[in-house]
C-alpha cells in the first residue's frame, strides 16, 4: 500500500487516519533491514522512535551523515568522526523535526563529501540500486540510493558542486540544489563554506517544493543565509508559467549520445508546451573545474584544520587518502608565494563566471543542460580517470560556483544498460519557484515519474 508513495501522499494518509505514523516508520525500518546490507545506503539507523512523541504526525526522512543530529551518531563517513555524537541539532534537521519529520537514519557519503561516487567513504561504498555493480554517484550517494530504492520517501543531501544533482541523476530521482544562502548551513559539517548548500532528494517535484519550503529561509546562526522571503513553492507549482529557456553547446561537449538525444527530445517538448528556446553562449565549464578545484581545496584545508582529536573525534592520522590529498593541495594554493597565482586568480575567475551567468540571465529565464556527461559508472572505475569527480561534475560546477539554483530530474533510461539519464534546469539566484514550476510542467507532460517508479519497483516489500 505504501510502496512508492511520496511524502505528500503519506502525509495525507496519516492525516486521514488510513495509517499511523508508527506504522509508516515501522514499514521503512523493515525495508531498511531487508535491503540496506545490499545497498549500504545507511550508516546509522535511528531506533529511538519508541521514545519519540508519536502523538504528533511524523513522516520518515533520511539525512546525509554530514548534518549534525543531536544524539544520533554523525560521521561524515570518516573514521575521524567514527564515534561522534553531536551535542546540537543542525538548523535543517531541526526545522524538519519541528515540522513533522522523523529521522530514519544517516546516509552514507564520500568521506567529508569529497568525491562523486560515495566510494571514498571509510565505511564502504553505497551501491547503485539500478545496478549493484555501479556507483550511485556522490557525494550524497547514500541519500540518492535510499530514495531510489524506497528505503526512505525523501532524503536530505548537500551539494558543494554536484553532490545532490549528480547522484540524483545516476540513481534516478529528483535532486534540488537551492541558491547558496537559501538554506542554512548551521550544523552542516563544513566542506567548502562559500559553496556548501543543503537540499532535498525526492520522488516528485511537489515533494521537492514542499521540503524546500520547510528548510529555506534566514537563520540567525548562519550569517550567509539570505533574508529574502520564502515563497510558497508548492502553491506556485500549478501556475502555467511560460519561460525563455537557454541551451548551449558548451554543455553538450563530450556528452554521451543517448543523453544528448534525451536532451533534444526535451527541447521539442518544451517548445510544444509554448516555451521559447534560445541558443546562448556561456564560458566553457572547464574553467569552472579549475576555479572549483582551487577554492574547494583551499576551504577544505582550512575547515578540516579543526579536527585535532582533542575536543572530539579521532586525531589526524585517521584521515583517508582523498581528504589528505585535498588538504595538501589547499595548503599549497594558500601558501606564501602561491596565494595570488592560484587562490586570488580563482576568486577573480569566479567573478567572471558570476558575471557570465548574470549576462545570460538577462536573455533567458532558465538554462537547460544534461546533469552528467555519462550515466552511472561501475564501481572502482573512477580510479582509471584522473580528476574523476571533477569530470563527472563538469556540468554542475558552474552553477555551484555562481551560487544559482538548479534541479536535476530523470529523463528516460539508456537503452543498453537500462540506467537513468538526468537532465537539469538552472535558474537565477533565488528563483527556485521557476525551476520547480518548469520541472512540474515537464513531470506532467512526460513520463519521467515512470522512471522513478520503475526504480522503486525493483525493491518490492
Partner 1 sequence: MKKKSLSKEEVLQLSKLAGLTLVDDEIVKYKTQLEETISYIENLNELATDNVLPTSSATFLKNVFFDDGEKNKRGLNLEEVFQNTQNKEGNFFKVKKIFDE
Q: Which of 56, 145, 147 lies closest to 109, judged by CA?
A: 145
Whether 139 is a known active-site residue: answer yes
If binding is defined by CB under 8 A, does position 48 make contact with partner 1?
no
Using CB under 8 A as the binding rule, the residues of this chain from 374 to 433 that contact partner 1 are 386-387, 401-403, 429
- Decide: is 213 part of the binding site for partner 1 (CB under 8 A): no
CA gap 161, 12 in Å, rounded: 34
Which listed residue (116, 163, 184, 301) is catalytic? 163
Helix (H) or strand (E) holding 425: strand 420-427
Residues 6+ apart with CB under 8 A from 48: 71, 72
Give the DSSP letter of residue 343.
I
Q: Among the options 6, 117, 139, 301, which is catalytic?
A: 139
Distance CA 320, CA 75 (A): 13
When asked if residue 310 is in the footprint of partner 1 (CB under 8 A), the reply is yes
Q: Does residue 339 touch partner 1 according to CB under 8 A?
A: no
100 contacts partner 1 (rule: CB under 8 A): no
Shortest reach from residue 358's CB to partner 1, in Å: 11
**Concatenated DSSP letters of 57-92:** --EEEEEETTB-BTTB---TT-GGGTT---SS--HH
Among 325, 326, 308, smallest CA distance to 317 is for 308
Active site residue 408: no
Is residue 446 close enough to count as binding partner 1 by CB under 8 A? no
Among residues 4, 312, 444, 446, the one that binds partner 1 under rule CB under 8 A = 312
Per CB under 8 A, 318 contacts partner 1: no
**360 within 8 A of 280, measured Cβ to Cβ:** yes
Which set of grid coordinates corresponds to residue 33?
A: 533491514
Binding region for partner 1 (CB under 8 A) out of 25-33, 61-69, 137-145, 321-329: 321-329
Active site includes 163? yes
* Contact pick of 194, 236, 265, 446 for partner 1 (by CB under 8 A): 194
Q: Which residues contact 207 (CB under 8 A, 6 or more apart)?
A: 6, 7, 8, 153, 154, 174, 200
Which residues contact partner 1 (rule: CB under 8 A)?
83-85, 87-88, 180-181, 186, 194, 220-221, 223-224, 226, 286-287, 289-291, 293-294, 301, 305, 308, 310-313, 316-317, 319, 321, 324-325, 327-332, 335, 342, 344-352, 354, 386-387, 401-403, 429
- Residues with a catalytic annotation lie at 64, 139, 163
Amino acid at each position: 500500500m505504501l510502496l512508492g508513495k511520496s511524502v505528500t501522499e503519506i502525509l495525507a494518509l496519516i492525516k486521514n487516519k488510513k495509517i499511523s505514523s508508527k506504522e509508516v516508520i515501522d514499514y521503512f525500518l523493515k525495508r531498511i533491514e531487508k535491503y540496506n546490507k545490499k545497498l549500504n545506503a545507511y550508516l546509522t539507523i535511528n531506533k529511538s522512535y519508541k521514545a519519540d512523541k508519536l502523538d504528533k504526525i511524523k513522516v520518515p526522512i533520511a539525512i546525509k551523515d554530514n548534518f549534525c543530529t543531536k544524539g544520533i551518531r554523525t560521521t561524515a563517513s570518516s573514521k575521524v568522526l567514527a564515534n561522534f555524537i553531536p551535542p546540537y541539532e543542525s538548523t535543517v534537521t531541526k526545522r524538519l523535526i519541528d515540522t513533522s519529520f522523523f529521522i530514519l537514519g544517516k546516509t552514507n557519503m564520500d568521506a567529508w563529501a569529497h568525491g562523486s561516487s560515495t566510494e571514498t567513504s571509510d565505511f564502504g561504498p553505497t551501491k547503485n540500486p539500478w545496478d549493484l555493480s555501479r556507483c550511485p554517484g556522490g557525494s550524497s550517494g547514500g541519500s540518492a540510493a535510499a530514495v531510489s530504492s524506497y528505503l526512505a520517501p525523501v532524503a536530505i543531501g548537500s551539494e558543494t558542486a554536484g553532490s545532490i544533482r549528480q547522484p540524483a541523476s545516476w540513481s534516478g530521482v529528483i535532486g534540488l540544489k537551492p541558491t547558496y544562502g537559501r538554506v542554512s548551513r548551521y550544523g552542516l559539517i563544513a566542506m567548502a563554506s562559500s559553496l556548501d548548500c543543503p537540499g532535498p532528494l525526492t520522488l516528485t517535484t511537489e515533494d521537492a517544493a514542499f521540503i524546500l519550503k520547510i528548510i529555506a529561509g534566514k537563520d540567525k546562526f548562519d550569517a550567509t543565509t539570505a533574508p529574502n522571503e520564502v515563497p510558497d513553492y508548492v502553491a506556485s507549482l500549478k501556475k502555467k508559467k511560460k519561460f525563455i529557456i537557454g541551451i548551449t553547446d558548451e554543455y553538450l561537449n563530450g556528452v554521451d549520445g543517448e543523453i544528448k538525444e534525451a536532451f533534444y527530445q526535451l527541447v521539442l517538448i518544451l517548445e510544444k508546451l509554448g516555451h521559447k528556446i534560445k541558443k546562448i553562449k556561456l564560458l566553457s565549464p572547464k574553467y569552472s573545474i579549475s576555479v572549483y578545484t582551487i577554492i574547494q581545496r583551499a576551504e577544505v584545508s582550512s575547515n578540516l584544520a579543526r579536527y585535532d582529536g582533542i575536543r572530539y573525534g579521532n586525531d589526524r592520522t585517521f584521515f583517508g587518502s582523498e581528504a589528505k590529498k585535498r588538504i595538501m593541495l589547499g595548503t599549497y594554493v594558500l601558501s606564501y608565494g602561491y596565494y595570488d597565482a592560484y587562490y586570488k586568480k580563482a576568486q577573480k575567475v569566479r567573478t567572471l563566471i558570476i558575471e557570465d551567468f548574470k549576462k545570460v540571465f538577462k536573455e533567458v529565464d532558465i538554462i537547460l543542460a544534461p546533469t552528467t556527461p555519462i550515466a552511472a559508472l561501475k564501481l572502482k572505475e573512477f580510479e582509471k580517470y584522473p580528476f574523476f569527480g571533477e569530470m563527472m561534475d563538469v556540468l554542475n560546477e558552474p552553477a555551484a560556483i555562481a551560487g544559482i539554483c538548479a534541479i536535476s530530474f530523470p529523463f528516460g533510461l539508456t537503452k543498453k544498460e537500462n540506467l537513468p539519464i538526468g537532465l537539469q534546469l538552472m535558474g537565477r539566484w533565488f528563483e527556485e519557484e521557476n525551476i520547480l514550476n518548469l520541472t512540474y510542467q515537464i513531470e506532467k507532460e512526460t513520463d519521467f515519474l515512470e522512471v522513478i517508479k520503475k526504480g522503486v519497483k525493483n525493491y518490492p516489500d
